[in-house]
Structure 1
Amino acid sequence: MTHVETSAEPTSPPSAPDPEPRRKNLYTASQWRLMWLRFRKHKLAMGGAIFLLLVYLVVAFAEFLAPFSPSAHNADYQHAPPQRVHLFEDTGDGTRFNPHVKGFDYEVDEDTWRRTFSTDETEIYPIRFFVRGHEYKLFGLVSTDIHLFGPVDPEAPMYLLGADRMGRDVLSRALYGTRISMSIGLIGVVLALVLGIILGGISGYFGGVIDSVIQRVIEFLRSIPEIPLWMALTAALPRSWSQVQIYFGITVILSIVGWTTLARVVRGRFFSLREEDFVTAAALDGVSKPRIIFRHMLPSFTSHIIAAVTLAIPAMILAETALSFLGLGLREPTVSWGVLLREAQNIPSIAQTPWVLIVPAFAVVSTVLALNFVGDGLRDAADPYNKR
């Protein structure tokens, strides 16, 4: 058997990775890529974006997430307090895992007719995931009765956030109200965006008499106090209209009032861009004016428009909430956060069930804050080369 010796040659250390591809990626990064890199460094904006994603999941799956119908009521549980969820049940021989809520006992004061609730330790209502309840149509297409969670017995009382003055589940109504309040803000901003871009772009590009006329209209609308203007326009809606018609009517009204701020932003940007070389080159090349506006000038500051739109959505949500609270917006049986906050006008509700107001108020405040955080992050990220 022969033994072959091999000489171990010293190996050279691995060469450092070529930094050129990384530099190339950085140098050729698109505007959206640079915007995202800056946006994700904004911690509050990222947290707000995650929260808003969860909110819009609630918008999409409200029927599935809500354990009860928003109109389901039980007169025996008017002004019922929030129930505590118990994870374990004492069976006498030990404890077992059995998520449940306990029943209610109540007494009625003969003088004030106020109900005083207490926990009935003998009544146990198990809670499970993916239980059967009231039937609904998911996305308006698929009929089902499966809900994310709820009592095993669909008739059992389960009020995790309490019940209102008609014995309706506050949690279910708040989840359903998310859909109306968030969608009316989104649709209203889209309509305001269209008006703001078209009128602001025309005003900024053409200037002259057209600019003067549009700016006088904007100044007239902005000189009118917003709340009285909303009240007057909303009060003009026919009382015979259905809730769907009122919903779209309010959306259009909010858009008519809300387009002026965005139009001013677009006009200012167009004034600064219309003398740029690429605009002059497009005009000399025979490109039509609408194409110059929407194909060349508008994409150059799309990120700024997105930031402005994100900051405009909270104003739309607060406007709908204020109108519905004053009774000039959406009304029962439609459920929105503003409709839920109308309970503040009912003195017994404030005295007996303050949680009825806390839940929609918390939803409005937290959502508006999240939208403002995202808007601030987008506004800072709109100029990725800013080193502040």
Structure 2
Amino acid sequence: MTDTTGPNKEPPLEHWHSKDPFDPHSVEKFTPEQERFYMASQWQMMWWKFRRHRIAVISGIILLLFYISILISEFLAPYDLQTRHTKYIFAPPQSIHLFHEGEFIGPFVYGYKQRLNRETLKREYDVNTSKPYPLRFFCAGDEYEFWGLFDANLHLVCPDEKKLASFFWLGTDRLGRDILSRIIYGARISLSIGLIGIAISFTLGIILGGISGYYGGWIDNVIQRTIELLKSLPQLPLWLALSAALPVTWSPILVFFGLTVILGLLDWPGLARAVRSKFLSLREEDFCTAAQLMGAKPKRIIGRHLLPSFASHLIASASLAIPSMILGETALSFLGLGLRPPITSWGVLLNETTNINAVATTPWLIYPVLPVIIIVLAFNFLGDGLRDAADPYK
């Protein structure tokens, strides 16, 4: 292809590229796809690569829906957190149906007939399939205070109170409380503790790891010996010891923040070492030396030049660290050393399954473990997708 722009004119660099690097006049115009690729930023290229990872995209959507749900837990839950149905203690889950005797009715449930077994002294529930009870949507139900701002009673779904007094999709517990509602409310605590904990962990990890890798010397030795000391301690016994050390007189809110701080303080050493290793290699690069010669202060060099160079690695690390926070809270609350009622989290709900007899007779009490599994898997798949998208060699 000959140069049609004239001997004294050069084509715009953003629209042309050389076919032969030894011939300055051998150029051809970019195709729209090539121009879009060569002009894309690092973040755009990461987004394009991430979108090709379908499992990671689906996991991201699931996580987004979970975190949106904690903003409207009161609306999504069929009942209030502490609403008790004394007539339906340990009621089994109710199935949702659409057809009754071949006729389409819409979402409905069948009612229960409760009876007391004289031999075992247990409540038994028989499903009455003779009459369907349609469910209502966007309906008035239990009153609640939405985020402490105003009173409301709007719910996504509720039973027809005139015909059916109950709707327990996942059953009830020993006090007759709806398990689905408590799982929805518990998501607010379990998911937020991961975000707060990772904020503490990342702040410490980036600051201490950055100082250690940038300055080196005795500062690096002190920080690294501290990290080695923390890493040498068994994690679970250390969690148990620190959680047991929280004063029993603390309110549930203080216990929540105390547990969050403990999880954050024990999770930063791994990130700090990763940041240090990156800084040790990046501080020898030409752009870092140029910034130092221009008089840039260490704070600016770290914040404006070094950290953005591996921000993608930090994002992937965060997506993998959050589920460990959630699992830590769940494990501690399950063992009775974490959060306590009236605060409700997935770990607190699973604490009721410590009695094997309860699990054998009422297996629906272990349903709170399902969202834990979904969240942990979603975060791991999301982390895999982000890591692949951030890898320049893929």
Q: Shared fold by TM > 0.5? A: yes
Q: Deviations over 1:123-160 (max 9, x none)?
A: 65431110111122334324311111111329811111
Aligned to 1:61, what secondary structure does the other structure show?
helix
Is 1:127 matched with 2:135? yes
1:382 partner amino acid: A
Instruction: Give the number of aligned pairs.
Output: 366
Of the three residues 150, 153, 161, the one matched with 1:145 is 153
Is 1:214 matched with 2:223? yes
Of the three residues 32, 52, 67, the one matched with 2:63 is 52
Q: What corresponds to 1:73 in structure 2?
A: 84
Conserved 8 A contact 1:39-1:378:
yes
Is 1:306 matched with 2:318? no
The 2-side partners of 1:342 and 1:258 are apart by 24
Deviation at 1:170, TM superposition (A): 0.9
Conserved 8 A contact 1:205-1:274:
yes
- Mapping of residues 1-388 of structure 1, within 5 Å: 19-88=30-99, 95=103, 97=105, 99-121=107-129, 124-153=132-161, 156-357=165-366, 359-383=367-391, 385-387=392-394
Deviation at 1:214, TM superposition (A): 0.3
Structure 2 unaligned residues grouped into runs of 5+: 1-28
Q: What corresponds to 2:14 in structure 1?
A: none
Deviation at 1:345, TM superposition (A): 1.2
Conserved 8 A contact 1:131-1:151:
no
Deviation at 1:243, TM superposition (A): 1.1
Higher relative contact order (CA 8 A, sep 6+): 1
The 2-side partners of 1:19 and 1:293 are apart by 37
Q: What corresponds to 2:3 in structure 1?
A: none
Conserved 8 A contact 1:344-1:350:
yes
Structure 1 unaligned residues grouped into runs of 5+: 1-17
Normalised to the residue count of structure 1, the TM-score between the two structures is 0.90
Conserved 8 A contact 1:201-1:270:
yes
The 1-side partners of 2:336 and 2:314 are apart by 33
The 2-side partners of 1:98 and 1:291 are apart by 61
Conserved 8 A contact 1:89-1:98:
no
Conserved 8 A contact 1:63-1:138:
yes
Distance change >3 Å, CA 75–CA 259, structure 1 → 2: same
Q: Cα RMSD between the aligned structures? A: 1.9
Conserved 8 A contact 1:189-1:309:
yes
Conserved 8 A contact 1:165-1:349:
no
Conserved 8 A contact 1:130-1:147:
yes
The 2-side partners of 1:304 and 1:292 are apart by 18
Conserved 8 A contact 1:131-1:152:
no
Deviation at 1:197, TM superposition (A): 0.4
Distance change >3 Å, CA 335–CA 123, structure 1 → 2: farther
The 2-side partners of 1:323 and 1:139 are apart by 27
Conserved 8 A contact 1:125-1:153:
no
How high is the sequence identity, in percent, across the aligned residues? Answer: 53
Conserved 8 A contact 1:308-1:375:
yes
Bigger mean CA offset, 196-205 vs 126-135 = 126-135
Bigger mean CA offset, 160-169 vs 201-210 = 160-169
Aligned to 1:132, what secondary structure does the other structure show?
strand
Normalised to the residue count of structure 2, the TM-score between the two structures is 0.88
Aligned to 1:168, what secondary structure does the other structure show?
coil
The 2-side partners of 1:147 and 1:256 are apart by 39
Distance change >3 Å, CA 379–CA 99, structure 1 → 2: closer
The 1-side partners of 2:320 and 2:356 are apart by 34
